[in-house]
């Protein structure tokens, strides 16, 4: 019987709200069993870029990562944000270890191909080194991944944190009974965007298509759900979307995604 594993990705609005982040990290530290945390930090990177006179360039909500911007995201993601999270987890008696995809050769990526837009140093995940991550879990460490990968030849890449969480969950599902959690500021996938309690508790592929046609699921939620179904099709057992209360022992109000 496989051991259980929780992969949790936290959104930028939680990272930026110190009270929410502290509460999330407390709940995360209390989760039993094997666990991995994945985070981004785009808003903080934009803020620090401005301080340095480096303006962020965005296309359809996606960051263009030129050489200067890459320096900023490496400093912010792998440095400031990652180490603050690790320090707070240690304060909560959770033996966390901060990582990028380059550490332990954990996540190999390739530069996103140039079609109509050149995203610069943005990487698409190719392989996840499940053996390296499993060694850390076996040693009772809690890996905390920032949204950086590498190509194995010395080049770092900015990489979507939702995708990293999905790909890590897929790779580790070979050895673990894996649940993937996308934790953000909403209680789940909402039927009515203005009604915080209109959570759709279960979404499968059939009603997902209907929800898209009805324009209930639109914009930024679409790629998140595509990541969910991709993970489920690759043997991740379950995917959940909700706010930090989703991690409470008897939580009920969140969205569960199934095939």
**H or E element, residue 64:** strand 62-64
- Angle (CA) 194-196-200 rounded to 5° is 105
Q: What tens digit of pLDDT does each residue of 12-60 get?
A: 999 999 999 999 999 999 999 999 999 999 899 999 999 999 988 877 6
Q: What tens digit of pLDDT does each residue of 187-216 get?
A: 999 999 889 999 999 999 999 999 999 999
pLDDT band at 62 (very low <50, low <70, confident <90, very high): confident
Say how many C-beta atoms besides its own lie within 10 A of residue 153's C-beta. Answer: 6
Average pLDDT score over the chain: 94
Q: In this structure, are residues 206 and 145 in contact, taking their beta carbons and an 8 Å threshold? A: no
For the chain, what are the domain ranges?
3-257
How far, in Å, CA of 111 to CA of 56, rounded? 19
Asked if pLDDT for residue 88 goes beyond 90, the answer is yes
What pTM, to 2 d.p., does this model score? Answer: 0.95
* pLDDT given at position 190: 94
Asked if pLDDT for residue 174 goes beyond 90, the answer is yes
* pLDDT given at position 193: 86
In this structure, which topology does domain 3-257 adopt according to CATH? Carbamate kinase (3.40.1160)
Classify 58 as helix, strand or coil.
strand
Asked if pLDDT for residue 61 goes beyond 80, the answer is no
């Amino acid at each position: 019987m496989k051991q259980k594993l929780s992969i949790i990705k936290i959104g930028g609005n939680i990272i930026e709200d110190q009270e929410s982040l502290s509460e999330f990290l407390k709940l995360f530290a209390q989760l039993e069993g094997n666990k991995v945390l994945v985070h981004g930090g785009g808003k903080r990177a934009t803020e620090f870029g401005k301080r340095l006179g480096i303006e962020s360039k965005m296309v359809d909500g996606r960051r263009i990562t030129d050489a200067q911007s890459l320096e900023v995201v490496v400093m912010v993601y792998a440095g400031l944000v990652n180490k603050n999270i690790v320090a707070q987890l240690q304060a909560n008696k959770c033996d966390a270890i901060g990582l990028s995809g380059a550490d332990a050769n954990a996540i190999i990526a390739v530069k996103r191909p140039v079609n109509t837009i050149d995203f610069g140093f943005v990487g698409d995940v190719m392989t996840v080194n499940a053996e390296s991550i499993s060694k850390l879990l076996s040693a009772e460490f809690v890996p905390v991944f920032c949204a950086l990968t590498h190509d194995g030849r010395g080049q770092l890449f900015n990489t979507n944190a939702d995708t990293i969480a999905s790909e890590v969950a897929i790779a580790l599902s070979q050895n673990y009974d894996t649940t993937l959690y996308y934790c953000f500021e909403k209680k789940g996938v909402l039927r009515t965007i203005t009604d915080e309690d209109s959570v759709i508790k279960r979404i499968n592929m059939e009603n997902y298509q209907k929800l898209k046609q009805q324009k209930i699921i639109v914009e930024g939620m679409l790629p998140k759900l595509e990541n969910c179904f991709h993970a489920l099709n690759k043997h991740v057992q379950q995917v959940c979307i909700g706010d930090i209360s989703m991690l409470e022992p008897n939580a009920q109000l969140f969205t569960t995604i199934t095939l």
